[in-house]
Structure formats: C-alpha cells, structure tokens
Amino acid sequence: MSTPQTIAVIGAGLMGHGLAQVFGSAGHPVRVYDAQPAALASLHERIAANLESLGRPDDFRHLVSAHGEIADAVAGAGVVLEAAPEKLALKQQIFARLVELAAPEALLASNTSVIPISEIAAGLPTAGRILGTHWWNPPFLVPLVEVVGTAQTSPATIEAMLALLTAVGKTPVHVKKDVPGFVGNRLQHALWREAIAIVAAGIADAETVDTVVKASFGRRLAVLGPLENADLVGTDLTLDIHNAVLSHLDRTPGPSPYLEALVAEGRLGMKSGQGFRAWTGETAAALRRRVFDYLKAYKG
C-alpha cells in the first residue's frame, strides 16, 4: 500500500463514488464534492451497496467524507480527481477553481472520457500538474486507467500518478498523445461504428451483431489484444485480410444517420425500453447483473 494521501473527488456520480471507493478501500482519506446535495447524501449508501455485492466489509467509511463546498473537499488534497459531467465548459470552470484552490503541488486529473486534456487546461497556469486519468466503469472492478499528459504535463506528474494508481491495485497505462478518445474509446467506438453500419445496411440485426462479438473474438479479447492476435495469425495474413476488407468498412466521418434517427425517435436504449434492441426492466437488470458478476469473477 502507498503512504496515505488525501484524495479529492469532484463529482459524486457513477464514476466519482466508485473512485472514492477505490481510494478509500486502499486506505487513503477521500474528500468528495458534488454540486447536488442528493449525490452527497447517497454517497456512503452507494459505496456500501457495491461492497455488499462484492461480499466485502464496509470498513473504510470513516475515510470518505462528503462536502458541499469545493474548497473544503480540495483542502489539503495531494491529488484531485474530477468526475463531473462530460461538458467542456463545465470542466474548464472546475479546473480554473482547482488551480486557485488546490495546494500548488497537488496533481489535478480529469476523468473525461474523450475530451483532450489540453482543452480542459487551456490557458490555466501551472498546467504541468494537470493530466487525464480515464477510468472505466465500474472503477472498482475494471483495472485499466489511461493516464494522459498534455504537452505541458510534467514527466514527474505522470510518474507520480502511475505510481499511485499501481499502488491502489489499478493497471495504469501512459497514453503519449492527448488525442480525443485516448486509446480505449477510439478502439471501442471504431467497433461500435462498424456494428451500427452493419445493422443500418441490413447485413445482420442488432442481436446477431452482439452474438457475433460475444461468441467469437469477444471471448478472447480479455486475454488476447488485437496486436497480439495479429502477430499470432501473422502480419502477412493480417495484410491480406486488410487488403480485401478495409475498403468495405464504414468510413462515415460523423455519427451514423441510423443512430441519429434512433435518438430523434426517443429510442434511447434501456432507459426508454427500446434502442437498437428492446428492453424491459427485468432484461435490463439481468444484463447489468451479468456484466457485474462477470467482472467480479474475472477480478478474482
């Protein structure tokens, strides 16, 4: 375990409460701020429910505190993790406050999914300590954290964050360029774009696309990365396949019109009962449970 240092979490939503759980369970004091009192009021309850599902004791409750003022959460923190909504202007405002309020040596990290960190840090002084830490949901079960530096982020900032994340049991990786989507979401959404295009073109329905992924290369993905796989089959075979197929893949520069139509029609997925596929409360809950149980078993 690393030496305990105070961690501030900005935003106590889906990701923020999970981040508080990761650091609290590793013995770090965590101070959480949210603009919504309801999010703070339910913070401990949500962490306790996660721990119960994991069959783990709630023995670090005293380390996690909720604060209605950002200055109180940030006071004395060595690391600040921002997990507020994915809106650039909001994140810029929050980081401007963090630069003012946090100790000069504190690391300031955003959990943005796809926004370049340099856009969030634009124009701020002491940008050397600002970086991205892109976690995956649920952060206490998915090991990866992408650590993203801008052209201004200091090497010491990156090193300190990699060391901290390793010490709390995560699998951090250093993403060397601050590009939209970093690595994980670029790969994930390249796959989703093609999946949507296949449905839109009538090649297969949504259920079939999901079955193809889950019952074929999806089975291997957790133990065989795409580039290991290319080496396994041979780069020569990979080149032959790319010569035959790449020019047929979807290259629409923006979101698919099929996706835009779903949203316009209110087919928003599980929350509206219909998206690419049809959902009831029960089938949606069962799927969420399957994912949680799988991740829990995989974590060991």
Ligand X SMILES: NC(=O)c1ccc[n+]([C@@H]2O[C@H](COP(=O)([O-])OP(=O)(O)OC[C@H]3O[C@@H](n4cnc5c(N)ncnc54)[C@H](O)[C@@H]3O)[C@@H](O)[C@H]2O)c1
Select the residue whose beta carbon is closest to ligand X and give its number. 13
Q: Which two tokens stand for residue 60?
A: 């670090």
Q: Counting contacts by CB under 6 A, is residue 147 touching ligand X?
A: no
Q: Which is nearer to ligand X, 113 or 157 (CB)?
A: 113
What value, to the nearest 5°, has the Cα angle with vertex 32 and ends 31 and 34?
Answer: 155
Q: Out of 2, 56, 69, 137, which residue is the one contacting ligand X (CB under 6 A)?
A: 137
The binding track of 113-132 with respect to ligand X, each residue x by CB under 6 A or -, is x-------------------
Supply φ then ψ for residue 138, to 5 degrees: -80, 135
Site for ligand X in 232-291 (CB under 6 A): none
| 16 binds ligand X, rule: CB under 6 A | yes
The contact pattern for ligand X, residues 64-83, with x = CB under 6 A and - = no contact, is -------------------x
Q: Return d(Cα 212, Cα 218) in angstroms, integer.
A: 8
Per-residue burial over 238-249, b = 16 or more CB atoms within 10 Å of its CB, e = otherwise: beeeeeeeeeee
Region 24-53 residues binding ligand X, contact defined as CB under 6 A? 33-36, 39
Asked if residue 180 has a cis previous peptide bond (ω within 30° of 0), the answer is: no
Residues identified as active-site? 113, 134, 146, 185
User: Which is nearer to ligand X, 265 or 294 (by Cβ)?
Assistant: 294
Q: Cβ closer to ligand X: 239 or 268? A: 268
Residues 17 and 135 sit within 8 Å (Cβ to Cβ): no
In the chain, helix, strand, coil percent, each to 5? 50, 15, 35
Window contacting ligand X (CB under 6 A); options: 10-18, 56-64, 218-226, 248-256: 10-18
* Per-residue b or e along 199-235, where b marks 16 or more CB atoms closer than 10 Å to that residue's CB: beeeeeeeeebeeeeeeeeeeeeeeeeeeeeeeeeee
Would you give the distance in Å from CA 116 to the centre of its chain? 14
State the helix-helix crossing angle for 206-214 and 184-200, rounded to 10 degrees.
Answer: 140
Which of 102, 198 has the CB closer to ligand X? 102
User: Nearer Cβ to ligand X, position 36 or 235?
Assistant: 36
Which one, 78 or 184, has the nearer CB to ligand X?
184
Q: What mask, x for binding ligand X by CB under 6 A, covers residues 77 to 116? A: ------xxxx---x---x----------------xxx---
Q: Give least dist CB 164 to ligand X, A.
A: 18
Is 10 near ligand X (CB under 6 A)?
A: yes
Strand-strand pairing, 7-10 and 79-82: parallel
Contact status: 12 vs ligand X (CB under 6 A): yes
Cα dihedral 121→125→129→132 (10° resolution):
0
Q: Which residues bind ligand X (CB under 6 A)?
A: 10-16, 33-36, 39, 83-86, 90, 94, 111-113, 135-137
